[in-house]
């Protein structure tokens, strides 16, 4: 099979897994392809998921009835790739060849050819809307205009943000007001200047703010709770803190070990369930980036709206509260805790903070002046709300809710 066809066939398999089996792209085994083809397949699948509704709108006039899912995904993949500027004849020929090679799609190769030749070339119409389970609560929370702006951000491939160590060699990019470095066309990450020297790591600008709000000091004993994949652990260790990084996932913590080795930083690694584990002493500060719906990361994970349906949110809210209560008990008197979720849903942010303040008399929030953080992003209760439509013209940011808490 030709190289371009192999990458496209792998992208099609990814789309079938997401849209047909409800699997996240990150959980799929890597296709057995050379690195360049593997990366191309993921980019194609990612781009198609960002423009699925637009692709369906372009295809609809040329289909009398919906074909089987694999054929529909093949058509979507082809019209999206063509809209990105790929040569039309090459895209059509590859799609037809892929159809012919499939036992269940061979008889529809003629349909694939006819439909793709009938669909006009050029940009696809409109911007994909979020599914109802997510869009409705977001409109209620932030307004229709803000959600529409978020959807525009989600439709574009996001830039890559780096967190830098002071004085480190780094690639050329845009210095963001919060201190991160933004790259718009990074290429292979491991080939970028400074990677081998360990002077930086990949971390969205919004994801870098919880550790900055915690403001760990040299020598402090700090717990990074639910630490994997470890960007915040690296920040805390780079600040000179004595860090314990805990997470329930051994495979995800292996990535943290690798990054600690690359950067020359150190932390105690603990693989355990935070609801069962107990420390051998209290901490000066704790960072709890709690498990959540991850709805703030749709710009980086366009498969999420198709895989999830919101049914898990109530259980996550309960888990967050249990983890928060447990972590607060591990603080030294006067110690501080930063609670964070990469969610756009108030139940996992503003509501979680209000409930915690009600449960714990003497617990209070602390605001800190952070470079690049707009005053309007702070909530009345003292939390920090980050949204993808902030910095929309610069590529947006992940959605987060962050609060710094201190026990009296």
> What single-letter DSSP state applies at residue 360?
S
**CB under 8 Å to 271, separation ≥6 — which residues?**
246, 247, 248, 249, 250, 253
- Looking only at the bridges linking them, the beta strands covering 384-386 and 400-407 are antiparallel
Q: Tokens 């006819």, residue?
A: 114
Residue 55 contacts residue 45 (beta carbons within 8 Å): no
Active site residues: 342
Burial letters 27-40, b for 16+ CB under 10 A, else e: ebeebebeeebbeb
Phi (first) and psi of residue 194, to 5 degrees: 90, -10
**CB under 8 Å to 163, separation ≥6 — which residues?**
179, 180, 181, 200, 201, 203, 208, 231, 234, 235
- The pair of three-digit structure tokens given for residue 310, joined into one six-digit string: 């919101």
Gyration radius of the chain's alpha carbons? 23
Residue 306 contacts residue 359 (beta carbons within 8 Å): no
């Amino acid at each position: 099979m030709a190289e371009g066809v192999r990458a496209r066939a792998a992208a099609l398999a990814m789309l079938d897994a997401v849209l047909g089996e409800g699997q996240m792209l990150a959980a799929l085994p890597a296709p057995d392809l050379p690195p360049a083809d593997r990366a191309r397949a993921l980019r194609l699948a990612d781009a198609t998921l960002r423009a699925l509704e637009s692709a369906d709108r372009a295809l609809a006039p040329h289909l009398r009835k919906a074909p089987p899912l694999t054929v529909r995904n093949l058509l979507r993949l082809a019209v999206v790739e063509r809209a990105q500027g790929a040569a039309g004849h090459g895209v059509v020929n590859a799609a037809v060849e892929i159809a012919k090679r499939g036992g269940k799609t061979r008889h529809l190769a003629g349909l694939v050819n006819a439909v793709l030749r009938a669909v006009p070339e050029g940009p696809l119409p409109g911007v994909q809307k979020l599914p109802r389970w997510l869009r409705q609560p977001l409109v209620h929370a932030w307004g229709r205009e803000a959600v529409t702006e978020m959807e525009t951000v989600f439709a574009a491939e996001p830039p890559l943000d780096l967190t830098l160590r002071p004085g480190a060699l780094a690639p050329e990019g845009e210095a963001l007001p919060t201190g991160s470095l933004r790259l718009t066309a990074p290429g292979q990450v491991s080939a970028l200047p400074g990677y081998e020297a360990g002077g930086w790591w990949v971390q969205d600008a919004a994801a870098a703010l919880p550790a900055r709000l915690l403001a760990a000091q040299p020598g402090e004993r700090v717990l990074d709770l639910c630490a994997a994949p470890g960007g915040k652990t690296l920040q805390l260790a780079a600040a000179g803190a004595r860090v314990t990084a805990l997470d329930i996932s051994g495979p995800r913590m292996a990535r943290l070990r690798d990054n600690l080795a690359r950067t020359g930083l150190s932390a105690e690694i603990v693989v355990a369930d935070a609801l069962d584990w107990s420390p051998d002493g209290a901490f000066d500060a704790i960072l709890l980036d709690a498990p959540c719906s991850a709805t703030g990361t749709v710009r980086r994970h366009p498969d999420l709206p198709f895989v999830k349906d919101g049914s898990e949110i109530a259980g996550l809210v309960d888990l967050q509260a249990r983890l928060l209560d447990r972590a607060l008990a591990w603080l030294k008197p006067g110690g501080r805790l930063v609670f964070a979720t990469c969610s756009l849903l108030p139940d996992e942010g503003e509501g979680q903070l209000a409930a915690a303040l009600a449960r714990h008399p003497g617990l209070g929030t602390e605001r800190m002046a952070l470079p690049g953080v707009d005053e309007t992003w702070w909530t009345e209760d003292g939390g920090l709300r980050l949204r993808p439509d902030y910095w929309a013209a610069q590529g947006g940011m992940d959605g987060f809710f962050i609060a710094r808490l201190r026990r009296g």
